[in-house]
């Protein structure tokens, strides 16, 4: 089959508007899939031409290389199906190309509990399991039942239960063993009509009163995030750039002794999670800028792109931020956004 049979196929395609960091990048070949059935022919074409295949969702947690070889596929199918279950539960099967925040707000408006704390996280649903997205004390893994996927080498389908996805803090099987090998096509979620608000994280509990609806909680989360985080459409960024570090108990004890106000959260096996944003802020870096990149003036965990920079410059800037934290606190910060493309 000739390339003319693929009307959505683009060559030397600009990706500048398809990543929230606003980095200049181009794909050698690009195709947006409007239906899951289009994946198999696209993979066949790539195999025929010898093109490596990579995936791009909403571009919200990625650092794109200036040039991406081969064929870049973007899932555009966005179907969503609800199935009532027992004891007030509702199953939700949602396609990879569905906007995550739109899903959260739609489910909250229906009075369904489970996703409301994850409002205003940018990106598509298909990317949510990769990072095991989380916010305000809730992680995706808590409401996820299964992930439907297809392998990029032969297009075969498989469904993995939540227990098979190796979920951890901002981690999953899709960042490890299956990285670059599969396309997530659908998520299966389990929500509830029964109230189960989670309001014990940060100042969320002070933003809602009485017996809130899931929509009220989602709107409160949106309000908090808008106050603290820059809108990627106005100031390009990838959200939280560094993971909150989990350190050994003795190190945490020593740091807390020297810095009594340091936020800290107990973890399994005697470890302690620290707040990366607080560490960066204590280094005097909030609002710091070098050329096109900077630390956001209100949230030190967010690195922003003022325009004109490239991926290598961003990574170098991030390394300088991390080095300042390591030098002062002895804590190593780990980057959260994934790299996509070839970085020589």
Spacing of C-alpha 7 from chain mean position = 30
Helix (H, G, I), strand (E, B) or coil at 265: strand
Gap between the Cα atoms of 176 and 171, Å rounded: 8
Helix (H, G, I), strand (E, B) or coil at 251: helix
Tell me whether strands 26-33 and 67-75 are parallel, antiparallel or unpaired.
parallel
Residues with a catalytic annotation lie at: 170, 240, 336
Helix (H, G, I), strand (E, B) or coil at 268: helix
The answer to whether 192 and 145 have CB atoms below 8 angstroms apart is: no
Residue 242, strand partner residues? 335
Gap between the Cα atoms of 238 and 336, Å rounded: 9
Residue 294: its H or E element: strand 293-295
CA distances from 9 to 26, 48, 341 (A): 14, 15, 19
CB-neighbour burial class of residue 98 (10 A; exposed 0-12, middle 13-18, buried 19+) = buried
Helices (H), the chain: 39-49, 100-109, 128-131, 204-207, 214-228, 249-258, 276-282, 311-329
Gap between the Cα atoms of 121 and 129, Å rounded: 13
């Amino acid at each position: 089959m000739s390339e003319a049979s693929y009307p959505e196929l683009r060559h030397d395609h600009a990706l500048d508007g398809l990543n929230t960091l606003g980095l200049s990048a181009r794909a050698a070949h690009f195709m947006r899939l409007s239906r899951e059935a289009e994946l198999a022919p696209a993979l066949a074409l790539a195999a025929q031409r010898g093109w490596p295949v990579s995936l791009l969702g909403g571009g919200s947690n990625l650092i794109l290389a200036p040039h991406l070889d081969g064929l870049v596929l973007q899932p555009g199918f966005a179907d969503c199906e609800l199935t009532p279950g027992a004891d007030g539960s509702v199953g939700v099967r949602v396609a990879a190309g569905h906007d995550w925040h739109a899903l959260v707000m739609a489910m909250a408006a229906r009075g369904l509990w489970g996703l409301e704390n994850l409002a205003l996280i940018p990106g598509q649903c298909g990317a949510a399991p990769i990072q095991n997205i989380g916010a305000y004390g809730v992680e995706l893994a808590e409401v996820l039942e299964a992930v439907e996927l297809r392998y990029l080498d032969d297009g075969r389908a498989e469904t993995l239960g939540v227990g098979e996805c190796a979920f951890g803090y901002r981690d999953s099987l899709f960042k490890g063993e299956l990285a670059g090998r599969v396309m997530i096509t659908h998520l299966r979620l389990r929500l509830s009509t029964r109230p189960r608000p989670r309001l014990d994280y940060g100042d969320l509990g002070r933003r809602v009163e009485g017996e809130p609806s899931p929509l009220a909680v989602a709107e409160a989360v949106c309000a908090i995030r808008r106050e603290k985080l820059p809108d990627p459409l106005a100031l390009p960024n990838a959200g939280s750039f560094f993971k909150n570090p989990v350190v050994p108990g003795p190190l945490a004890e020593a740091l807390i002794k020297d810095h009594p106000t340091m936020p800290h959260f107990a973890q399994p096996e005697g470890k302690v999670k620290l707040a990366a944003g607080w560490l960066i802020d204590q280094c005097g870096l909030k609002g710091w800028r070098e050329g096109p990149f900077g630390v956001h003036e209100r949230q030190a965990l967010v690195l922003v792109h003022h325009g004109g920079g490239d991926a290598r410059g961003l990574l170098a800037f991030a390394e300088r931020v991390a080095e300042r934290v390591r030098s002062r606190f002895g804590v190593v910060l780990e980057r959260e956004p994934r790299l996509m493309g070839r970085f020589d």
